């Protein structure tokens, strides 16, 4: 939520800030702004409601602002509607401080009332303005003193970038529970919510930890902890190419990322299987630990949670241990039953989702061991978990996740197989067959993608439906949850995913002549049961789009109106193939409807507020 960027060096800052913001727009995009300090020009602030392109036009792509130090922001509104005045940077009444913020200042009302009682007048509805005004209130000439006193009063989550007109030779970066990195260059330094904003300029980055304050000058960075003690921050090298975060000829990032799935899944799987056995880096789970494990608790949000839903079926089947899947936002406040023998499996593409991070910390506090499946190297969840399994999906930019989902699923399979082989809950042959099927998955994903025109055709028939149902049983139900979410996220069509057997306990009342039902029937043991549910909705006039494996397509076609077929794989792996036509379906429906596919309304990719 919200992206922040800062630059201090010898060049004009504004074009660099705008370029950085263009790479952070996935974090929020209802308004944007920059503040730049230049000799003779003072502090220049331009901010505007709307997409970044509005700001680019207002500033002539940054050329209208002069100065070599500045901060920028792209917003996902929490406090105060999207508007020019609520956009960041927020500026103190005396015009001395410009502040960009990601997170929420939870005690902002109390601070605002305190400052108002001292005569300070506020202009915005944001929580962030209290930071700028507090800085002014405490400022007596010493910037660090004012920052220190201000931070003492703040409660909540924040990543801050601060520029002071009296000290234009420095930028201040502060991190508390919201991600922030520092990019280190020769003769310039940057701050940003994530590495995508700085990678064009430098690959050397430091990840700030909670409570840390970084002072950036043109020539270097000094980091202090909350007690103002100097901290030696390690510098990490980011080794992926900038092209990985660009569209590469596709109309949308989502299309590019859908098409990248075979390659991403291959990268995630291939190095981790040797001679039929799974070898996972940095993961040591002894047979005794796994034998004594009382429960596997899966904690995640959004699509990562949907991966968890598939994982429950897969892991319970492979391990015969209870698996509980819970939404991170619920886990935190449900007094969860966790023991030292509980393994918490945390799934997060970004590694920064605040609810998932907080739930992970709670699980740790309660004594669980925490294993995280994460895509972003160096993210907070990756750094704080006891063990990390990376999904090698590369940067994912589209708000609607596709390749991250697929690679998370691949890691779940690897994990399940690895545990099952260690525990002896699968035979040698069963294990080898699953390993072989896993290695064959990327090739089968390519086959699914080759037939994307079929899905495009169905999308052209269905894009005007006001409401679409997804039904399935077992693994098909879990995949349906993701298919339904993808559709509503980007096409704004109302959609529900239902366990097919549950439909008649209420929701079938919504099926009327012409209602579109997407019936998932790839889980062969329950094919006939699912087909009974298809007949039930057909009897009430539903139009049915079936999704099944090639060998069952003809049978399904006898009842369904249309059928999309995917290749058959090991039954537990089938979700990996089934999800792809559903992603494509959502994509093509949204395309037909003229939606802003990569930046759907009201959403953000990285949700760093509760
Ligand atoms: C947001 C994104 C979703 C994502 C969810 C969890 O809502 O739009 O695509 O699944 O956050 O994110 P995470 O980074 O923790 O997987």
Q: What is the length of the chain?
A: 610
Ligand 1 neighbourhood includes 302 CB (under 6 angstroms): yes
Nearest protein CA to atom 1 of ligand 1, as residue = 605
Cα–Cα dist 212/216, whole Å? 13
Domains 3-245 and 255-448 share a fold: no
Q: What's the pLDDT band for 191 if we cut at 50, 70, 90? A: very high
Ligand 1 neighbourhood includes 126 CB (under 6 angstroms): no
**pLDDT for the residue numbered 605:** 75
Per-domain residue ranges of the chain = 3-245, 255-448, 451-592
Ligand 1 neighbourhood includes 350 CB (under 6 angstroms): yes
Q: What's the pLDDT band for 607 if we cut at 50, 70, 90? A: confident
Neighbouring CB atoms inside 10 A of 553's CB total 17
How far, in Å, is the centroid of ligand 1 from the Cα of 301? 6
How far, in Å, is the centroid of ligand 1 from the Cα of 603? 10
pLDDT in tens, 55-99: 999 999 999 999 999 999 999 888 889 999 999 999 999 999 999
Instruction: Please report the atom of ligand 1 found closest to the CA of residue 376.
Output: 14
Q: Are strands 369-374 and 342-348 parallel, antiparallel or unpaired?
A: parallel
User: Is the Cβ–Cβ distance between 24 and 74 less than 8 Å?
Assistant: yes
Instruction: Please report the atom of ligand 1 found closest to the CA of residue 302.
Output: 10
How far, in Å, is the centroid of ligand 1 from the Cα of 303? 6
Cα–Cα dist 41/357, whole Å? 42
Percent of the chain exceeding pLDDT 90 equals 87
Which residue numbers are catalytic? Answer: 2, 605
Structure tokens at 31: 């308004």
How far, in Å, is the centroid of ligand 1 from the Cα of 196? 17
How many Cα neighbours within 13 Å face the side chain of 235? 13
Give the CATH H-level superfamily of domain 451-592: Glucose-6-phosphate isomerase like protein; domain 1 (3.40.50.10490)
pLDDT in tens, 253-307: 999 999 999 999 999 999 999 988 998 877 789 999 999 999 999 999 999 999 9
The domain defined by 255-448 folds into: Rossmann fold (3.40.50)
Helices (H) and strands (E) in the chain, counts: 19, 27
Neighbouring CB atoms inside 10 A of 317's CB total 17
Neighbouring CB atoms inside 10 A of 241's CB total 11
Cα–Cα dist 182/159, whole Å? 12
User: Is the Cβ–Cβ distance between 173 and 213 less than 8 Å?
Assistant: yes
Instruction: Please report the atom of ligand 1 found closest to the CA of residue 399.
Output: 8
The domain defined by 3-245 folds into: 3.60.20
DSSP secondary-structure letter at 67? -
How far, in Å, is the centroid of ligand 1 from the Cα of 351? 9
By three-state DSSP, how is residue 488 classified?
helix
The phi, psi pair for 194, rounded to 5°, reads -155, 170
Ligand 1 neighbourhood includes 128 CB (under 6 angstroms): no
Angle, in degrees to the nearest 10, between helices 452-462 and 428-450: 60
pLDDT for residue 38 is more than 90: yes
Q: What is the pTM of this model?
A: 0.85
Cα–Cα dist 484/547, whole Å? 14
């Amino acid at each position: 939520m919200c992206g922040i960027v800062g630059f201090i060096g010898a060049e004009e800052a504004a074009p660099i800030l705008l370029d950085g913001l263009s790479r952070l727009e996935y974090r929020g995009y209802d308004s944007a702004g920059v503040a730049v300090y230049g000799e003779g020009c003072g502090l220049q602030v331009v901010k505007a409601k709307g997409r970044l392109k509005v700001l680019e036009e207002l500033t002539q792509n940054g050329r209208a602002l002069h100065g070599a130090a500045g901060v920028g922001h792209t917003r996902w509104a929490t406090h105060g509607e999207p508007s020019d005045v609520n956009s960041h940077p927020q500026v103190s009444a005396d015009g001395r401080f410009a502040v960009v913020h990601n997170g929420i200042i939870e005690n902002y009302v109390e601070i605002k009332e305190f400052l108002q009682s001292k005569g300070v007048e506020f202009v915005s509805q944001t929580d962030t303005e209290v930071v700028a005004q507090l800085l002014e209130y405490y400022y007596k000439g010493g910037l660090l003193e004012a920052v220190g006193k201000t931070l003492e009063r703040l409660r909540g989550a924040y990543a801050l970038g601060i520029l002071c007109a009296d000290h234009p030779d420095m930028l201040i970066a502060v991190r508390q529970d919201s991600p922030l990195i520092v990019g280190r260059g020769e003769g310039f330094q940057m701050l940003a919510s994530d590495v995508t904003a700085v990678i064009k300029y430098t690959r050397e980055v430091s990840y700030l930890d909670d409570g840390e304050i970084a002072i950036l000058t043109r020539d270097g960075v000094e980091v202090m902890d909350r007690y103002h003690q100097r901290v030696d921050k390690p510098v990490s090298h980011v080794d992926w190419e900038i092209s990985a975060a660009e569209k590469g000829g596709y109309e949308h990032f989502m299309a590019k990322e859908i098409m990248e799935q075979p390659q991403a899944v291959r990268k995630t799987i291939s190095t981790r299987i040797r001679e039929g056995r799974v070898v996972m880096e940095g993961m040591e789970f002894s047979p005794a630990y796994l034998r004594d494990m009382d429960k596997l608790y899966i904690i995640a949000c959004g699509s990562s949670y949907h991966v968890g839903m598939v994982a429950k079926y897969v892991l319970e089947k492979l391990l015969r241990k209870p698996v509980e899947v819970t939404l991170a936002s619920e886990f935190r406040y449900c007094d969860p039953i966790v023991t030292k023998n509980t393994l918490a499996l945390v799934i997060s593409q970004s590694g920064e989702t605040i609810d998932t991070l907080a739930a992970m910390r709670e699980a740790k506090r309660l004594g669980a061991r925490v294993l995280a499946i994460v895509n972003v190297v160096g993210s907070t969840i990756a750094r704080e978990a006891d063990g990390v399994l990376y999904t090698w999906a590369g940067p994912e930019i589209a708000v609607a996740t596709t390749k991250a989902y697929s690679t998370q699923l691949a890691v779940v399979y690897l994990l399940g197989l690895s545990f099952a082989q260690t525990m002896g809950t699968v035979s040698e042959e069963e294990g080898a067959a699953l390993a072989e099927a896993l290695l064959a998955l990327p090739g089968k994903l390519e086959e699914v993608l080759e037939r994307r025109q079929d899905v495009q055709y169905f999308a052209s028939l269905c894009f005007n439906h006001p409401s679409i149902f997804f039904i399935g049983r077992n693994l098909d139900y879990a995949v349906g949850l993701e298919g339904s979410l993808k559709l509503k996220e980007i096409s704004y069509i109302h959609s529900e995913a239902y366990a097919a057997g549950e439909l008649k306990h209420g929701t079938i009342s919504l099926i009327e002549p012409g209602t579109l039902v997407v019936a998932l029937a790839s889980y062969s043991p329950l094919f006939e049961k699912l087909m009974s549910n298809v007949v039930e909705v057909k009897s009430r006039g539903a139009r049915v789009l079936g999704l099944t494996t090639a060998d069952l397509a003809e049978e399904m076609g006898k009842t369904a109106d249309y059928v999309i077929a995917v290749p058959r794989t090991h039954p537990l792996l089938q979700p990996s193939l089934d999800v792809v036509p559903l992603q494509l379906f959502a994509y093509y429906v949204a395309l037909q409807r003229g939606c802003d596919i990569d930046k759907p309304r009201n959403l953000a990719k990285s949700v760093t507020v509760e």
